[in-house]
Amino acid sequence: MKVAVLFGGTSAERHVSIASGAEVVGALRAAGNEVVAVDTATGVLDAADERALLRSAVAPEPPSEEELAELRAHDATAFLRAPELERVDVCFLALHGGAGEDGTLQALLDLARVPYTGSGMLGSAMAMDKDISKILFRAAGVPTPDWRMAPVDADEAIAALGLPLVVKPSKQGSTVGLTVVKQALELEAAIREAYRHDDEVMLEHFVPGRELTVPILGDEALPVGEIISEHEIFDYASKYQPGMAQENFPADLSERVAAEARRLGLAAHRALKLRGFSRVDFRLDAEERLWCLEVNTLPGLTSASLMPKGAAAAGMSFPELCDRICRLALEPEHPRATRV
């Protein structure tokens, strides 16, 4: 296959996406594919650019707004006109957050009739919006913590959700802009911080307990994983800095809990009309009740990421996983598997 790997972009998760892109490019080439590496913010990379960009590790902090503003000044559609993308069989989306994951790029590729991996425009947009996601989870019978959307009266929110509570941007990933609020006087500052990253802010009941994740591939739930973080939450540093978290696949769970997590993971994936692959995140409370937090439509694919570890627990190597993701996008029944 000729595969264009799209990564980088202009979201706060740019550094993570570059790390995912590096892993995917290598894996697809190892599997015998012709690969074009594309930073959607700057264009097709030549060999020297690949060596310089794709060897960089994930920084401890997301890129600054100044860095992102400079990248956003470029024509975000220019990469599609690159001659290197002619006769590409599929675009592998290794983007995270922002226009790469919220349905915007998916709509552009749909218009260009270019097959791409993962979910379509509608599913991507619904999954990125945590408010809409949680409404659909509840409609599908998937338990999710109570929430309120800002602006909201502080006393009313605390009375409804309790303390601690979580304040986060409604359309961000990698816990960017997220704060666990333990005292009422911290709430206003936490909301301001979340608004720096998004125009919609969610306040959510904090569920203490174990952090679980369910990778979905095709229409199958892979082994359930557990994240044990050095921090109170599985935050940006815990996700991308070595030694900050322990990730166990399969998780040490009773068969009942593991089966229920897989069932609810698939239910959440289907409720959002997702395709290809995703990763569904849960909290397991002290009474062994599962609470769905969110679904990642383009989960991380770095060496430290959860999706590849779940696939490995199912007996699938990383090159096999990447190849499978590509082939899911090209299945004949797939409505996007066309190219003009």
* Catalytic residue numbers, as ranges: 13, 174, 240, 279, 281, 294, 296, 300
**Which spans in the chain are helix H?**
14-30, 47-53, 65-72, 98-101, 104-112, 121-128, 130-139, 154-161, 187-195, 236-240, 255-271, 306-313, 318-329
Total length of the chain = 340
Contacts of 262 (CB under 8 A, 6+ apart): 214, 221, 224
Checking phi first, is residue 185 left (phi over 0); if not, alpha (psi -120 to 50) or beta? alpha
In the numeric block, which tokens belong to residue 299?
């989960």
Contact predicate 250/213, CB 8 Å: no
Please give the backbone phi and psi of residue 282, each rounded to the nearest 5 degrees, phi first. -130, 160
